[in-house]
Structure 1
Amino acid sequence: MNKEAKIYIAGHRGMVGGAVWRILEQEGYTNLIGKRSAELDLRSQQDVEAFFKEEKPEVVIDAAARVGGILANNDYPYQFIMENMQIQNNLIDAANKYDVQKFIFLGSSCIYPKFAPQPLKEEHLLTDSLEPTNEWYAIAKITGVKACQAIRKQYGKDFVSLMPTNLYGTHDNFDLKTSHVLPAMIRKFHEAKENGHTPVTLWGSGTPMREFLFVDDMARSVIFALENVLPEYLYNVGTGVDLTIKELAETIQKAVGHTGEIIWDSSKPDGTPRKLMDISKMHALGWKHQVELQEGIEKTYQWFLENIENFKEVKL
């Protein structure tokens, strides 16, 4: 890939898009384009087409999405399915229409069935029903994967989908109403420590198993896909290692330095019992993660502390 190729990163202000931007710059890419939502509404087909017609990007990395945890998905199902479909459909269609050379679509492991065999393989897609608490987001992402596959099949273009496991890292969302489990725990344990090591109540039983990938590793997988022609349409991206939510909580608690009690509220939903990615296809091509979980949590907590003024205005 030419380091001067014009690369448009949709969602460049988000955690994943921002990491992709940073790593691309570190790797010497010099022609990156990003638009804030105030400058370009990706839900508007007309606006997206006008942007592609004017800018003519050679590569598009779609890291734009409406995202959130169990609570947000459950409370705003229409926005999660409709806005995500609008965003990705406009980007994919415009990229096809304006002859973008390479399109990298980023999704989520939630596209796989709730009770799919573990670890999750790419071929498990659409073999059973989804997890009800986030099926709206999952269905939207599945349509994006299938749209990219259809373009590969019909037009022979280099459109590929990467499905990351649970992502976390610097620039994460720490709003307890909309954040995912790991950043939410960091904030809860930190504030409990600041309040005299008060008890921390966490959702569910603590028994579900989850896999976590540091966001810079996800960004490196995008650059790997950018610099190589991947032979298939869909690839899982993760570490291949999981742990229980209870073990995650204890790891974060130790990193934060909280010494109080952890209370598990089993009246709250657990979500999918296990979600481990089979990443053998990416490994076979030569990509592997670099940052292990404990190191990643410590880096994320350090970033949280450095940016804590941004979170103080939201009272719990």
Structure 2
Amino acid sequence: MEQNAKIYVAGHRGMVGSAIVRRLAEAGYHNVVVRTSKELDLRSQEAVRAFFAEEKPEYVVLAAAKVGGIHANNTYRADFLYDNLMIESNVIHESYVQGVKKLLFLGSSCIYPKLAPLPLKEDALLTGLLEHTNEPYAIAKIAGIKLCDAYRSQYGCNFISAMPTNLYGPHDNYDLKNSHVLPALIRKFHEAKQQNAPEVEVWGTGTPRRELMHSDDLADACFFLMQHYNEPGLINIGTGEDLSIRELAELVRDVVGYQGQIRFNTNYPDGTPRKVMDVSKLASLGWHYTTKLEDGVRQVYSEYQQA
């Protein structure tokens, strides 16, 4: 990407989009175009068409999506499917119409079948049934991958797709009702420390294993792919390493400095026993993550305290 190229980052206020904007700025890319959802409704074909015709971005990173936890995904199934289909369809099509040089579409590890072999390889896509609770979101993301491939095949567009693992970082969601596991644990242990509570409840048995990556590492990987990767299909972005929920809870407890006990409430479900990405494809290109989990947790906890 040329240093003065106009780059549109869709979803710049989210955890992923904001990290990508920071990475671009760090690399000296300052001709970055952004719009809030109030300024530009990406679900509107007319609005997206007008935006692309006016701005004519040379590069596009599509990090905008309707997102939420298990409860939101399962409750608002039509909204998650419709909104995400419309967002990606409009942005990808107008990128073709306006001759965008390269587009990066970001999906999610939930695109893989519920019972896919671990670690999750790129070729596991569409080899089995999806997890029911987030099926609408996953279907939309799979459609986005296939849209990129179809525009590449029919029109020669350099549209690529990347699937990040579970993320954490600045601008994360700490709402206990619909946050992911790490921000939920940070908030629980922080509040327990403040209140001198004797114990912190953690859902499930603590045995499921999860892979976690800092959003700044994801942004660095995206920047790398925009420079070096031009293939159809998809590529995983992750650490390739995981740890148990129990180990994660103990790590957060130590970082927060909480002195009480951890109680695992086995009345709550564990969810998927293990979820970790195969990142050998990305590693073969020469990219590897740099933020150690403990360092990353200390960083986001510090930011959480200042919020």
TM range (shorter): over 0.9
Aligned position for 1:243: 243
2-side partners of 1:176 and 1:79: how far apart? Answer: 22
Q: Is the 8 A contact 2:152 2:232 kept in 1?
A: no
Task: Provide the secondary structure at the position in 1 that maps to 2:8.
Answer: strand
Alignment of 1:2 onto 2:2: yes
Q: Is the 8 A contact 1:103 1:159 kept in 2?
A: yes
Aligned position for 1:117: 117
**Normalised TM-score (structure 1):** 0.94
Q: Which moved more, 1:297-306 or 1:74-83?
A: 74-83
1-side partners of 2:78 and 2:192: how far apart? Answer: 34
Aligned position for 1:265: 265
- 1:259 Cα offset (Å): 2.0
Aligned position for 1:218: 218
Q: How does 1:128-167 map to 2 (within 5 A)?
A: 128-167=128-167
Q: Residues 269 and 81 from structure 1, CA distance in 2 versus in 1: closer, same or farther, beyond 3 angstroms?
A: farther
Question: Number of aligned pairs?
Answer: 307
Q: Which moved more, 1:78-87 or 1:58-67?
A: 78-87
- 1:219 Cα offset (Å): 0.2
Task: Provide the secondary structure at the position in 2 that maps to 1:9.
Answer: strand
Q: Residues 202 and 75 from structure 1, CA distance in 2 versus in 1: closer, same or farther, beyond 3 angstroms?
A: farther
What percentage of aligned pairs have identical amino acids?
Answer: 54
Q: Is the 8 A contact 2:7 2:31 kept in 1?
A: yes
Q: CA RMSD in A?
A: 1.2
5+ unaligned residues in a row in structure 2: which ranges? none
1-side partners of 2:194 and 2:220: how far apart? Answer: 35
Task: Provide the secondary structure at the position in 2 that maps to 1:23.
Answer: helix
Alignment of 1:189 onto 2:222: no
Alignment of 1:81 onto 2:81: yes
2-side partners of 1:265 and 1:71: how far apart? Answer: 19
- 1:276 Cα offset (Å): 0.7
Cα offsets for 1:149-200 (capped at 9, x unmatched): 1112222221111100000011211111221111111111111111113422
Cα offsets for 1:29-69 (capped at 9, x unmatched): 02000001110011111101110011100111001011122
Q: Structure 1 residue runs of 4+, over 6 Å off?
A: none
5+ unaligned residues in a row in structure 1: which ranges? 308-316
1-side partners of 2:184 and 2:32: how far apart? Answer: 31
The one-letter amino acid of 2:137's match is: Y
The one-letter amino acid of 2:301's match is: Y
Aligned position for 1:295: 295
Aligned position for 1:11: 11
Task: Provide the secondary structure at the position in 1 that maps to 2:160.
Answer: strand
The one-letter amino acid of 1:120's match is: L
- 1:241 Cα offset (Å): 0.4
Aligned position for 2:61: 61
Alignment of 1:37 onto 2:16: no
The one-letter amino acid of 2:74's match is: N
Task: Provide the secondary structure at the position in 1 that maps to 2:113.
Answer: coil
2-side partners of 1:207 and 1:154: how far apart? Answer: 46
Q: Residues 202 and 74 from structure 1, CA distance in 2 versus in 1: closer, same or farther, beyond 3 angstroms?
A: farther
Aligned position for 1:169: 169
Cα offsets for 1:78-130 (capped at 9, x unmatched): 22222111111111111112111101001111110111111000000010111
Q: Is the 8 A contact 1:159 1:233 kept in 2?
A: no
Aligned position for 1:22: 22
Q: Residues 11 and 201 from structure 1, CA distance in 2 versus in 1: closer, same or farther, beyond 3 angstroms?
A: same
Q: Residues 67 and 198 from structure 1, CA distance in 2 versus in 1: closer, same or farther, beyond 3 angstroms?
A: farther
